[in-house]
Amino acid sequence: MLPLIAITSGEITDHDFPWAPVAYGKAHTYTDAIAHAGGVPVLVPLIDDIKLLRRLYDACDGIMFSGGNDLDPSSYGALVSPETKDTSPRRDKQELQLFKWALEDNKPVLGICRGMQLMNVAVGGSLHQDINASVPDAHNHAASADREDFSHLVHTLNIDAESDLAKIMGNNIQTNGLHHQAVDVLGEGFVATAYAEDGVIEAIEMPAKQFMIGVQSHPEALESGVQPIWAKLFKAFVDSSKGT
């Protein structure tokens, strides 16, 4: 049986018809990356009924927490800074619940960008609400977004040689940059396993768990194109989910 992989969705407003109902979804690159790795991607809509959410969670073998909008700073005990934008408390609430269940059940988890940040916050960690405002001499971590090109490579990651990420992919991997926030204080159980050249955390993992890795970049947009080595990460995640 091919493993079912839940992919969290964001709220999408149709700018041509802002009065229309909000849509739930993600870019096709997320579902493509899971399909390429041998998994069955399942987009998770925002569901207010926790029993329905639990039913969907139970049916899936692994969870990918996708990228998107900023986390509400109240989720990590901070006041909102002027740089924080486009929050979705409803999405935060659902994803924090999904992560709590996955943590309890040792279900495989992969976090992408916002997804990595949510994983960290879920266990007591915090975020830099804006890298340029709070990290001295930081590089431009949104350079790919500025270029309007997900395939634009901006960092070479220094990956801890003892980490699961290094065992999957090796070291000195290039990646893109489309974020303005980053992990500050690590949450309980997480270790930082990759850094950008300026010292900003680019990956975290929880060694005590079967598979729990978060990456700050967007490798789902690279794995079938300019940086195919990232496909190894999605394959390892999907393979890990086969055993649940």
Per-residue pLDDT reduced to its tens digit, 31-74:
999 999 999 999 999 999 999 999 999 999 999 999 999 999 99
**Residues 214-230 as b or e (16 or more Cβ within 10 Å = b):** bbbbbbbbbbeeebeeb
Q: What is the pLDDT of residues 182-202, one digit of tens each?
A: 999 999 999 999 999 999 999
The pLDDT score that the predictor gives to residue 85 is: 87
Could you tell me the pLDDT band of residue 100, with boundaries at 50, 70 and 90?
A: very high
The catalytic residue among 95, 113, 202, 205 is 113
Neighbouring C-beta atoms of residue 128, cutoff 10 Å: 21
The catalytic residue among 95, 205, 220, 223 is 220
> φ and ψ at 12, to 5 degrees?
-120, 125
The catalytic residue among 179, 205, 218, 223 is 218
Average pLDDT value over all residues in the chain: 96
The pLDDT score that the predictor gives to residue 31 is: 98
- pLDDT over 90 at 243, yes or no: no
Q: Compute the distance between CA of residue 42 and CA of residue 34 in angstroms, rounded to an integer.
A: 10
Could you tell me the pLDDT band of residue 244, with boundaries at 50, 70 and 90?
A: low
Q: Compute the distance between CA of residue 137 and CA of residue 70 in angstroms, rounded to an integer.
A: 22
**149 Cβ contact partners less than 8 Å away, ≥ 6 residues apart:** none
Is 113 a known active-site residue? Answer: yes
Is 218 a known active-site residue? Answer: yes
Q: What's the distance, CA 31 to chain centroid?
A: 14
Q: Compute the distance between CA of residue 161 and CA of residue 22 in angstroms, rounded to an integer.
A: 43
Q: What is the H or E stretch that residue 133 is in?
A: helix 131-134
- Rounded to an integer, the average pLDDT of 14-18 is 92
The pLDDT score that the predictor gives to residue 199 is: 96
Q: What is the pLDDT of residues 114-160, one digit of tens each?
A: 999 999 999 999 999 999 999 999 999 999 999 999 999 999 999 99
pTM of the entire predicted model: 0.97
8 A C-beta contact, residue 216 and residue 201: yes
Amino acid letter at 214?
G
Amino acid letter at 63?
I
Amino acid letter at 56?
L
Q: What is the pLDDT of residues 164-177, one digit of tens each?
A: 999 999 999 999 99
Is 60 a known active-site residue? Answer: no
